[in-house]
Amino acid sequence: MKLVMPFLSLYLIWGNVYAKTAPPNIILLMADDLGWGSVGYNGNKTIQTPALDQMSKEGIRFDHFYAASAVCSPTRASCLTGRNPFRTGVFSANRGILRPEEITLPELLKEQAYTTGHFGKWHLGTFSTKIKDANRGGNQHPELFNPPSKHGTDLYFATESKVPTCDPMLKPSTNATKSGWNAIKPGEATLPFGTHYWSNASGENKIVTESLSGDDSKIIMDRVLPFIEEAVKAKKPFLSVVWFHAPHLPCVAAPDLAKIYKDQEQEMRNYAGCITGLDRQVGRLRKKLAELGVAENTMIWFCSDNGPEKKTPGETGGFRDRKRSLHEGGIRVPGLLVWPAKIKTARIETHACVTSDYLPTIMDILGIPRSRIPYELDGESLLPLIEGKDFTRHHPIFFQYANQLATSAGTFKFYKANGIAELYNLEIDPYEKNNIIKTKPEIAKTLEKQWSAWQTSTKASFEGAEYGRKSFKRIPQSWVDVTKMRKLKKK
C-alpha cells in the first residue's frame, strides 16, 4: 500500500495537469438567416431560446459580432479559412467553391490529431456530378463537386443548400410556398423537395435515405452526438462544425414545436417553432457533453451566417436593413462562446468581431504558428479578449457584397452603395440613422482608402497571386467589382 500511494498521487497530479493542458474540443454552431433580435437573450419576447439564453449567462456574449458577408456561402467560407471569401471567388450564395488550395480549420486540426466532422448545411460546393441535386449539383458543372471531405473533414452528413426545417426531403404536393407550410401530416401527398443529405459514413459519398423525418435540427444533431461519443471513446479531441438550416426559408415547425406558438399566425408558428427546435438541439448537445464528462474543455461558438431574410418575422433588434445589406441588420448577428475551462464568468463583449476570427483564434489557442498559413488572413485572434486581456484589432473589418462596400473600424463605420457614401458613429448611433459624412469627411476618406487597398489585395488573391491559377481556371469567374455595380441584385 505504501508503494501504491505515491504512484496514485503522481497519477492524479498528472491527470489534473493533462486536463488543464489538453487541447479543447471545438464546436462551431451556426444558424441560417437568424437575426440579431430573434433570440431571447437579445430581447425577443416571442421566440423561446432557453438554451442559447443559458449560454449567454455562462460565457461571452458578443454584442458586436459580424458575419463576414450579408449572405450564406461567403460567411461559411470565412469561418473555415479566416479569410474574406472574395479572395477565393465565393462572392455570393451559389458562387464559386471553397478552393482546394485554401488551408481550412479542419485541415489544421487534423494535423493536431483531431477528428473532424461537418453536419448540416455545406453550401461551398456540390456533392454530385451525376444527378440533379439542390441548386448546382449534377453533370452540367462537374468542376463544382467539392464535398467537405476534400477539406479535412473526416465525417460529414450534409446538404448542398437549403431544405425545409421539418421533413427536410419533402414538400406537400399542394399549398407549398416559398416561405413554408405546416408540418406534413401522415398520409398527405408529397413531392421531393429536390435537395439530398449526403454522407461519407460508409466510406463513400452517398445519399442518405433513412431517419430523415421530423425536425431538421434534430435530424442533424442525431448525427452529431454519435460522432462526439466516438471521439470521446477514442480519447481524441474533436472539431464538430454544425450548420443548422433553421430559420432559412422554407420554415416548417414540427407539430410539437408549432404547438408552443399555437396563438400565433401560421407564418410565425413555423418561423418561431423551427428556431426553438434549433435551440432545443443546442441544449441537447450541451447535456450530452456534460454526460460524457467533456463539457469543461469544450469550446462552443454560436452565430448566424447573416441577418434575417426580408419579409419574414425575423428581427434585427433595431439594426438597419436585413439580409443582403451591409448595413448592420444584414451582417450584425448573434454571437456566443462558452468554454468553462477558460471562461469562468459570463460577460458581454462590445469589441467588433467577425466570423473570419475563428481560425486565427483557434490557431492561437493551440499554439499553431501563423507561418503555417502563408496566405493573407483577414481575421484576428480573439484569444486576448477571451482571456480578459486588452484587445485591439490591428485593422478594420472590411466587407463587400453586390453593389456595396463597408469598413467597420470600431467606433466608425463607412458604407457605400451606388456611389453614395455614408459614415456612422456606431458607438452613439448603432442603428445607422444619422449619416455624419459631411461633418467627418476626413474619417470617411481614410476608411474608404483603407477599404480600397484591401480590395486590391483580395482581387490579387482571387486571381492567383498566393497559390497559382489552377482553381481560377477550374471555375471561370469574373472578378466582382462592387464599386462598379449600380443595382443590388434581388435573389
Q: DSSP label at 472?
A: H
Residue pLDDT, tens place only, 365-394 = 999 999 999 999 999 999 999 999 999 999
Give the pLDDT confidence score for residue 178 in this predicted structure.
94
Residue in 337, 354, 385, 271 with CA at minimum distance from that of residue 33: 271
In angstroms, what CA-CA distances link 57 with 42, 45, 346, 402? 12, 17, 6, 37
Residue in 141, 203, 186, 190 with CA at minimum distance from that of residue 164: 190
In angstroms, what CA-CA distances link 179 with 133, 164, 192? 20, 10, 17
Cα dihedral 5→7→12→16 (10° resolution): 150
Q: Return the exposure string of 358-381: e unless at least 16 CB atoms fall within 10 Å of the residue's CB, then b.
A: bbbbbbbbbebeeeebebbbbbbb
d(CA 309, CA 32): 10
Give the pLDDT confidence score for residue 200 in this predicted structure.
98
| Omega cis (within 30) before 250 | yes
Give the pLDDT confidence score for residue 219 in this predicted structure.
99
In angstroms, what CA-CA distances link 128 with 98, 132, 146, 196, 303? 16, 8, 9, 10, 29
Give 10-residue mean pLDDT values along the chain (491 residues): 40 39 95 98 98 98 98 98 97 96 98 98 97 93 97 98 98 95 97 98 97 99 98 98 98 98 98 99 98 98 98 98 98 98 97 98 98 98 97 97 96 96 98 98 98 98 97 94 76 43
Which residues are registered as beta bridge partners of 405? Answer: 400, 416
Residue in 373, 487, 476 with CA at minimum distance from that of residue 89: 476
Residue pLDDT, tens place only, 30-53 = 999 999 999 999 999 999 999 999
Q: What are the chain's domains?
A: 24-386 (3.40.720.10), 397-484 (3.30.1120.10)
d(CA 149, CA 261): 39
> Is the pTM above the cut of 0.85?
yes
Which residues are registered as beta bridge partners of 197? Answer: 159
Q: Are 312 and 269 in contact (CB under 8 A)?
A: no
Q: Return the exposure string of 27-36: e unless at least 16 CB atoms fall within 10 Å of the residue's CB, then b.
A: bbbbbbbbbb
Give the pLDDT confidence score for residue 487 in this predicted structure.
64
Give the pLDDT confidence score for residue 174 in this predicted structure.
94
Q: Are 165 and 252 in contact (CB under 8 A)?
A: yes
Give the pLDDT confidence score for residue 410 in this predicted structure.
87
d(CA 450, CA 25): 37
Single-letter amino acid, residue 437:
I
Residues 6+ apart with CB under 8 A from 357: 82, 379, 380, 381, 382
Residue pLDDT, tens place only, 195-252 = 999 999 999 999 999 999 999 999 999 999 999 999 999 999 999 999 999 999 999 9
